Structure 1
C-alpha cells in the first residue's frame, strides 16, 4: 500500500517536472515574440476577432500594438504583419526567411501537405517551378490561354444576350466562364453551362468558399482537434473536397487512358503525366499521383473562385458608379470598336480600363488575410524573435488599404492607378496576388481574364441596376478567407454600336 502510494507520488512529481520543463522551454521560445492582446486559455484571442471581418479586427489591433504583433489563434500563437512596408520587408526583402507556407488546419486536412499551395521545401520549389513553366509554355502552343479566354468571352456574351434584358444574378455565369478557363488549362476542354458535372462541381466550390469564410470555417481553423468530433457546417468543407477530388481523379484517369508516350501535351495534366514518366525510376520523385491530384485541385479551385469573385465585384462597382462604365465604353469604342473582340494587346492602349481593373482588385480585397506563411528558421525581425515554424499572417488588407500608399483607400478610385496625364502608373502596394516566393502563380492568366471578360461584356452591353446607384451597398457581406459581396442582380442592355 505504501509502495503504491509512493509510486503515485513519484509519477505525479515526474509529470509535474516534465510539464514545468515544457512550459519553461515554451516560455523561452516565445519570450521575444512581438506584443499583443491578452489571450484566454484554449480560446486565445478568438473573442476579440470579429468572425465576419477578421481582417478589420486585426487592423484595429495593429493601431494599438504596432505593425508587428502577436495574436493567439486558439492555442496557437501567430505573428501578424500590417502595412505595406512591413509586409514588403518580410515577403520580398526577406523572402528566404518568410517564404514557407504556414499550416491552415482545414487546408492541411484536405491536402496533407501535397500539391502546390500547401507544400514546403523541395516539394514546393519543384511543383511551383513546374507549374509556372507549364502555364508559360501554353502560350507557345496552337491554342494559347488568350485563345481560350477570348472564345469563352464570346460564349458568355451569347448566354447573356439570351437573358433579353431580364434581371439576373451574375454569379453563376461568371463562375462558369472562369471555371471553363481552368478546365481548358487543366483538362484541355470546356463544359457547357448546363453540364450536370460542371453544375455540381461549381455548387460545391461556391459552398466551400462560403463556409470557409464563415464563422464556422474560422472556428474550425482555431480548434480543429475539437471540431473534428462535432457536427456543423464545417464538415461540408471536407465532404465537398472529397467529391471534388473524386471528380479530378476521374479526369486524371481519362488522361492516363488516352496518354501515349511521346505525345504533345495539351493541358496541365498531360504535362504532369509526361514528367511522371520521365522520373518513374526515381523513388523520391515529387511527380507522383498525389501531387498531381492536389496540384490540379489547387490550380482549378484557386483560379476559378478568386477571378470569378473579382469580376462579380467589378460588375457591382460598375452599377454603383455608372460614370466609370461609360468611360470604359468610350475607351473601348476608341481603341477596339465593335467589329472585333478585344485582345490582350489592347490593354496597353487602354490606360483607364487597366486602371479600373487594378482598382477593382485593390478595393475588392479578395483574399484579405493572405494564405499564412511561416518562418523556416528562428528569425530576428524588427527587434523581435519569431521562432521556427511560427504562423505568420501578412495581412494583405492592410496593404491594399494602407493610407500611406493610397490617396483614398476606403473609396473606389481608379485615379489611384493614373498619373497626371491619364496614363497607367504602378504602385508597389498593389498586392492582390501576394508577393515574394509565394506569390500566386496564376497572376498573368487571372489578369488576362479580368481584362478580356470585362471589356468584352462592356463592348456588347451596358449594365443596369434594378435600383438607383445611391441605394447599392458595396460594403462586404463578410471578409473571412475571402471577401464576399452582397447579393445583387442586374440586367444587360445591348449596345447599339455592338
Structure 2
C-alpha cells in the first residue's frame, strides 16, 4: 500500500479514528517545534489538519516529485505525516554541511519498522544505529576493501570482467540480469572465496535477488506498521495483512544470507580450504564473531546491486550515445594498442573514459534518493531549524540534474568533467555513495569493479539495437520506480567491434 492509497483508503480512516490521541500529540509536538527562537522550519507544501502532507507526498517516482518541490520551495524542503517529519535536501553543499560535517547528530537512522523488524534487517549496516557494532563493522569493511586493501582483489576482478564479456556476446535483449548475476559471482568469490561460489553460489544469488526485491518494495511504499507498531501482532492470515507474509519471507531470506554462508566459511577456514577471500582475512584478524559474520553478509547483500546497476547504466549510455562510445574506445585502444584487455592499472591513462564514468552516475542518476538520515538533536542550517528526530532525505536526482550547477544537465556530456572549472563540480560518485559516517564503505570496491567491467565492455563491443530497431530518443526513456533505477525496455545486442575484438574474445574463451 503506497502513501496516497493510505490517505484515501477505508483502512487509513479506521487507523486514524483509532489513533486520534496519538495524532493529537503529534500535532501538538509539531506546532511546538516549528520555532527555535527566530528559527523557522524550512518551506514546504502546506499541510492538512491531522494528516499533514500525507496526500501530497509523491505516489510514484518520489525523487521526481521532490524535484518539483525543489523548484518551488528551494534547496531545503519540509513536509510531515503523522509520526514523521521529513527534511528534503536538494543541494550538495547543503547536504555536505548538514550530513558530512555534523555526523554525530545527523548520522542516525529511522528506517521503517517494517524494514528493520518485520523483515528482519535490523542487523544490516544501513539500519544499524551509531555505536560500537556500527563502528566495528565499518572498521572490518575498511580493512577488507578500503583504499589500502582494495587492490588485493584486482586479479579476481579482471578475470571476472573477462568472463562477463564472454557472456554478453549471447545477449539479445536486456543485459541487466546477466550483469547482476556475474557481479554476484564476483562479490561471492571476493567475500567468501571460490569454493563458496562453487558450492553455494546459485543459492546465494537467488536469495539475494529475492531479498533485494522486497527491500525495494519496502523502501518505496508506506506501511501502517511503521507508525502503528502494534500491528506487528496481526496474524499473517488476516485479510489485508500482506505485510506480515512479506515480512516472514524476507526474514527467512535475511537469516539465510546472514548465517548460512558464514557457517560454511568457518568450516572451510578451519579445514584450510577457504582460500584467499575477505572471509579468510576477517576470520584471521577478528575471529568468528557476530560482527565478522554481519560484515561479510552486508558486503554480499549490498555489494551486487549497486555495482551491477552502475555497469548497466554505463552500457545504456554507450547504447544511446554511440559518439561517446567511439571516443571511449579510441582512448582505450591508444592505451592498450588493441592487443589486450584494459587492466585496472590503465585507469590513470583514460581521462575521457573516467569522465564518462562520472557522467553515468550524474545523468538520470540510478540512485535517485539516498538512504535517509535522522537527526538526534535540533540543528540549524541556512537559517532554518531542522528539529530533532527529523528524517533527512538527500535528493540525488535534483543535486545531479540542477541546471544552476550543471548548465545543461539533460545532456550526456562527459566533457564537462574535463573543462576549466571542473574541479568545482560535485563528484557524482561522492554524491551517490553518501555522507559522513553513512558513506558506503564498499565504495572503493564498487567503483573499481564497475569501471573495470565497463571499460572491457566498451573496448570489445558496439552496443547496438536489435535487428529492425533504432536507438530511442533519450528524452523518451522511462525508468523503473525502484531504489536503484534501471531503464525500461533496454533491448540491445553486443557486437564485437572488429577482428581484433573477436580474436581477444576467442583467446578469453580458451583461458576462462
> Which TM bucket (shorter chain)?
0.7 to 0.9
CA distance in 1, matches of 2:318, 2:81: 38
Corresponding residue number in structure 1 for 2:32: 28
CA spacing shift, 1:305–1:63, aligned 2, 3 Å: same
Tell me how large the CA RMSD over aligned residues is: 3.5
CA distance in 2, matches of 1:349, 1:314: 19
CA distance in 1, matches of 2:458, 2:24: 66
Within a 5 Å distance, the mapping from 1:204-283 to structure 2 comes to 204-205=210-211, 207-208=213-214, 211-212=217-218, 217-220=220-223, 225=228, 230-232=240-242, 235-236=245-246, 239-260=249-270, 266-274=276-284, 276-277=286-287
CA distance in 1, matches of 2:93, 2:353: 28
SS in 1 for 2:164: helix
Residue of 117, 120, 124 corresponding to 2:126? 117
Instruction: Please tell me whether the aligned partners of residues 143 and 149 of structure 2 are also in contact (alpha carbons under 8 angstroms).
Output: no
CA spacing shift, 1:393–1:186, aligned 2, 3 Å: same
CA distance in 1, matches of 2:212, 2:134: 27
In the alignment, is residue 169 of structure 1 matched against residue 174 of structure 2?
yes
**435-444 or 472-481, larger mean C-alpha shift:** 472-481
Within a 5 Å distance, the mapping from 1:296-335 to structure 2 comes to 296-335=296-335
Instruction: Please tell me whether the aligned partners of residues 192 and 274 of structure 2 are also in contact (alpha carbons under 8 angstroms).
Output: no
In the alignment, is residue 201 of structure 1 matched against residue 204 of structure 2?
no
CA distance in 2, matches of 1:17, 1:182: 49
List alignment gaps of at least 5 residues for structure 1: 1-15, 278-286
CA distance in 2, matches of 1:19, 1:160: 54
Q: 1:11-58: per-residue Cα shift (whole Å, max 9, x none)?
A: xxxxx9999888645532344432322334665424323332111111
Q: 1:133-175: per-residue Cα shift (whole Å, max 9, x none)?
A: 22138838xx8222121010111122223x2xx6132112100
CA distance in 2, matches of 1:113, 1:202: 16
- 1:246 positional shift: 1.0
CA distance in 2, matches of 1:407, 1:182: 37
Residue of 477, 496, 499 corresponding to 1:496? 499
Normalised TM-score (structure 1) = 0.82
SS in 1 for 2:432: coil
SS in 1 for 2:408: coil
**458-467 or 261-270, larger mean C-alpha shift:** 261-270
CA spacing shift, 1:247–1:44, aligned 2, 3 Å: same
CA distance in 2, matches of 1:33, 1:297: 40
Corresponding residue number in structure 1 for 2:193: 188
Corresponding residue number in structure 1 for 2:508: none
- 1:456 positional shift: 1.0
Corresponding residue number in structure 2 for 1:481: 483
Instruction: Please tell me whether the aligned partners of residues 365 and 400 of structure 1 are also in contact (alpha carbons under 8 angstroms).
Output: yes
Residue of 62, 85, 98 corresponding to 2:93? 85
CA distance in 2, matches of 1:460, 1:136: 30
CA spacing shift, 1:23–1:306, aligned 2, 3 Å: closer
Corresponding residue number in structure 2 for 1:362: 362
CA distance in 1, matches of 2:208, 2:274: 29
In the alignment, is residue 131 of structure 1 matched against residue 141 of structure 2?
yes
CA spacing shift, 1:74–1:415, aligned 2, 3 Å: farther
CA distance in 2, matches of 1:375, 1:194: 40
CA spacing shift, 1:104–1:363, aligned 2, 3 Å: farther
Q: 1:213-260: per-residue Cα shift (whole Å, max 9, x none)?
A: 6xxx42238956488653448954662452243144111001222334
SS in 2 for 1:385: strand
CA spacing shift, 1:453–1:125, aligned 2, 3 Å: same
SS in 1 for 2:266: helix
- 1:480 positional shift: 4.3
- 1:408 positional shift: 1.2
Corresponding residue number in structure 2 for 1:418: 418
CA distance in 2, matches of 1:435, 1:203: 26
SS in 2 for 1:478: coil
Corresponding residue number in structure 2 for 1:427: 425
Aligned length: 464
- 1:333 positional shift: 1.1
